[in-house]
Amino acid sequence: MSVTNYKLDLDDDVAHDLTDPQQYTAKVARQLLVKIVQLASNPRPQDHIQIKDGYRVDSGEYRIYYEIDDRQRVVTIRVVGPRNDDAIYKRLTRRLNR
């Protein structure tokens, strides 16, 4: 059986935040990037949860919200943030309503 990975697409804000040491320590950024890269080969891992038009997975104390285009085989990372509050969903709403 052949497995075709999905292409990963990070929103500009996500890419910026993951490389900003004021947002995430190197250890946390690496942890998040590992989880994001894993989504390319398995966009619906066992721990995913569907939320409206997208999905979320947790990585440590952080949450990754993403969307999947199965026809184009693209996983788009929309927002990453702490999972201890609803701030990630507020940021998501702001980013999608620009």
Pairing of strands 62-69, 54-59: antiparallel
Q: Looking at the 3D structure of the chain, how many domains does it have?
A: 1
pTM (predicted TM-score) = 0.86
Residue 28 lies in a domain: yes
Residue 16 lies in a domain: yes
Residue 19 lies in a domain: yes
Per-residue pLDDT of 5-61, as tens digits, reads: 999 999 999 999 999 999 999 999 999 999 999 999 999 999 999 988 899 999 999
Evaluate whether 51 touches 65 at the Cβ level (below 8 Å): yes
Q: Which residue has the higher pLDDT, 89 or 79?
A: 79
Residue 1 lies in a domain: no
Task: Output the pLDDT for position 70.
Answer: 95
Residue 88 domain boundaries: 7-96
Which CATH number fits the domain that encloses residue 70?
3.30.2310.20
Task: Output the pLDDT for position 92.
Answer: 74
Residue 2 lies in a domain: no
Query: For the CA atoms of 35, 41, 43, 47, what is the dihedral angle to 10 degrees?
Result: -60
